[in-house]
A and B are shown apart, each in its own frame.
Chain A
Amino acid sequence: MTADFLVEMKQITKRFPGVLANDRVDLQVKRGEILALLGENGSGKSTLMSILSGLYRPDAGEIYVEGRKVTFKSPREAIDAGIGMVHQHFKQVDTFSVAENIILGSKEAKFLLKAGKVEKEIEELSRGYGLQVDPTAKIWQLSIAERQRVEIVKMLYRGSKLLILDEPTAVLTPQEARELFQVIRQMTARGQSIILITHKLNEVMEVADRVTVLRSGVAVATRERQQVNQRELARLMMGQDIIVPSKKNPGQFGQEVLKLESATADSDSRRPGLKDISLTVRQGEILGIAGIAGNGRRELAEVIAGLRPLSKGKILIGGKDVTNLSPLEIIEEGVSYIPEDRLGSGLVPNLGAVDNLILKEYRRPGLGRGPFINRRKAGEFAARLIQDVGVKVTGLEVPVKKLSGGNLQRLLLARELASSPKVIVAVYPVRGLDIAASEAVHKMLLEQRSKGAAIVLISEDLEELLKLSDHIGVLYKGRLMGILPVEEAEPEKIGLMMLGAQPGEVMAS
């Protein structure tokens, strides 16, 4: 056993029903280095790190920390051994203060909670690393970037030696991401080791010292950063050369289809909803919407889909006022909605493909007579859609929750695009999908664009927005900071607008 490594994982195997998530994976982390763990969505990165952080138990394999063999039965034991993970979905209690979240489960606090003392400690610790957090603030009041800092401070407070960051930049603006990278470099200078889970090649090149590449649950290679280039990494990650992304034709815009006039709405939480949003989308146009989570992206989608009432303003579709009509009436106006959570609202997890595919079709006369649904016709309808988009299903009645993310999204798109919609609202349409599946989804959206649909694409991925959109709008605190033609939308500029800058100010700076 070489003690050069802070942490060593050997021959780790983890199986989930029907999936071999990790297959005899080896991984080593040195002291004070930034190791990138690179792989596509579904390649087993998060599973591997959940094992290292004690959340899952491996089916086989061994873990060594500073040369000693360890078995983690819970995250607590991993934390005690100096391994802390910042998950993509922050593990925080929204109603608690920052300090309460940080001392939760910590051995420091005795029976009584001494808020003042803890708050001071946290402030000192966070200042030392250049991570600004207000220990008295409640989590729900914080921005995403601040919440991420809280997670990092939480791990440092527990004396973490190895910090695992799961896709930390996915929720940040380019500026925030750069700031984060600076912080973690400072941390390595103070002896911390970092594992950065990512699927972005440029991040590996920008910040990592070494990189381990995972593909379909197997560790295919480990390289020094200086010895690789992006092209080689891409080939290692996908097992083939980069898929040539679908090219968008120049836009041919027709009439105005969707129009929002000073649309204003509340949100569910205590965050701002939408304020005074005005925009138009024409036939054959994709309007991309950028913005950090919690700034009104979801509310905007729901407002257009008729799922959230407007308190002020108007929505017009094809010139017709559809403000505050029921969701059903909006559907009948030709609006399709690809929601953020496929299994939560787009699909019914426990029902089969047929029942899911007729979700918006069952009222139509084609599928039955009077109050009855013709099951045979419904089956034929579903089979046709499935064939059209090439979804792989084991059976038409098997619960759809058993499908992979890519197949789920194809199923959803098949249904939503079947009725040749006039307006399409797509929210994070490729979240969690691997590159091939993402490409298929993008192709379907671009097809709809050439067919003349007006599309609103809401995404957290700037690259995706720049690739597909004709125009890009930026939301900040429920307001639209401006809409730019895609040619003028540089990532830096969009990033600043996501943090509240007006387009004019951005030009000046």
Chain B
Amino acid sequence: MTQEFLITILATAITAGTPILYAALGELLAERCGILNLGVEGMMLVGAVTGFVFAVRSNDPWVGVLAAMLGGGALALVHAFLTVTLQANQVVSGLALTLFGTGLSGFIGKPYIGIPVENAFKPVTLGFLSDIPVLGPVFFHHDPLVYVTYILVPVLWFFIYYTRPGLHLRAVGENPAAADSLGVSVYRVRYLYVTLGGMLAGVGGAYLSLAYAPTWLENMTAGRGWIAVALVIFAIWNPLRAMLGSYIFGGIDALGFRAQAMGVMIPSFFLKMLPYIFTILVLIMVTRKAMANRVGAPGALGLPYDREER
């Protein structure tokens, strides 16, 4: 029982962590170019609802994912316009995005509450990989969107640290004036990655409504977008660490879920509090560590850039 239980927990940790991972990767890209986007929750919700609506109508979950990317990306574009072009306060704009996204998703999703999606994402096995003892059932009995992250995370990591566009991305986030003086278009880079970030958040939302709990519920993200924002700090803006962090959160989520099934006598309300409390504790711990090591956020995170600022 113990080994089986462990495998179930770990496998569930991955599925529960995947929506957070998508959103965290998106936020990581945005923050790497210097734009803080606190609208992740709103973008995820819009992704979840557009993904669901289009998957139901087209009967193809991939159409749903595409729609979710467009939905999340469109919202992020609004944030980019406000913060990059109009130099608005990034915190407040992000909050507006979350509120707007919450409202919009509730509005669009109203007629879809309780409707089942026929063709949701289902686990597929990957030949011999899935047959490896322990690792197979933990990592390779999942739906395709999980497998996408297995490729996406290392690719992003390599992209950020070892390619020219990655260098430009980091430079814009660290010191936009320096990047600009060498002909890297700060505006273009910021628009690009903020929008890409929104698309990824949208996919994270769609994962919830099309794979994790294939249904649409109002506010179904339940704070996962905010956890993703916290995770980026935990990850020190590194995709590999974001993956690890997402699975830890997924594990906690899963543990709460499973503990009930196992008949643990703690009321479910308290188990549901765990991820939120854990987020706070993790933030406190990483902040202390970041202070000790003096490694931290991209240098220009949260600051608008204006070339003619005097």
Contact = CB atoms under 8 A, between A and B. Distances in A.
B180 A74 contact: yes
Contacts of B87: none
A87 B310 CA distance: 14
Interface in B26-83: none
Main secondary structure of the interface of B (DSSP, over half): helix
Contact of B165 (A77, A92, A103, A111): A111
A93 interface: yes
Given A56-B308, A74-B180, A104-B179, A269 B294 contact: yes
B183 A93 contact: no
Given A75-B182, A105-B184, A95 B163 contact: no
Given A104-B168, A112-B163, A93 B175 contact: yes
Given A95-B299, A111-B163, A112-B162, A104 B178 contact: yes
Contacts of B166: 113
Q: Which of B166, B167, B181 has the most CB of A within 10 A?
A: B181
Contact of B175 (A85, A94, A154): A94
Contact of B178 (A76, A77, A101, A113): A101
Interface in B222-278: none
B299 A91 contact: no
Contacts of B170: 93, 96
B181 A111 contact: no
A96 B171 contact: yes
Interface magnitude class on chain A? 20 to 34
B307 A95 contact: no
B185 interface: yes
A176 B30 CA distance: 41
Residue from A75, A93, A113 having most chain B Cβ neighbours under 10 A: A93
B183 A91 contact: no
Contact of A94 (B162, B182, B299, B308): B299
A110 interface: yes
Contact of B294 (A53, A79, A270): A270
A113 B163 CA distance: 5
Interface in A59-101: 74-77, 79-80, 85, 87, 91-96, 100-101
A100 B310 CA distance: 27
Contacts of A76: 182-184
B174 interface: yes
B174 A94 contact: yes
A79 B179 CA distance: 13
Contacts of B185: 74
A179 B307 CA distance: 32
- Judged by DSSP, the binding face of A is loop
Contacts of B175: 91-94
A349 to B, nearest CB: 13
A95 B310 CA distance: 25
Contacts of A246: none
Contacts of B183: 74-77, 79-80, 105
Interface residues of B, number: 25
A75 to B, nearest CB: 5
Contacts of B165: 111
A85 to B, nearest CB: 8
Interface string B277-310: 0000000000000000010000100000001101
A109 B164 contact: yes
B181 A91 contact: yes
Interface in B148-192: 162-168, 170-171, 174-175, 177-185
A104 B294 contact: no
Nearest to B166: A113
Nearest to B175: A93
Given A93-B178, A94-B299, A101-B178, A16 B310 contact: yes
A99 B160 CA distance: 16
A55 interface: yes
Interface string A112-128: 11000000000000000
Nearest to A95: B174
A104 B182 contact: yes
B307 A55 contact: yes
B164 A110 contact: yes
A98 to B, nearest CB: 13
A331 to B, nearest CB: 27
14 contacts: A55-B181, A56-B307, A75-B182, A76-B182, A76-B183, A92-B175, A93-B171, A104-B167, A104-B171, A112-B164, A113-B163, A113-B166, A154-B182, A269-B294
Interface of B: 162-168, 170-171, 174-175, 177-185, 294, 299, 307-308, 310
Instruction: In the A-B complex, list the 4 residue pairs whose CB atoms are closest, starting with the nearest.
Output: A76-B183, A105-B182, A91-B178, A91-B181
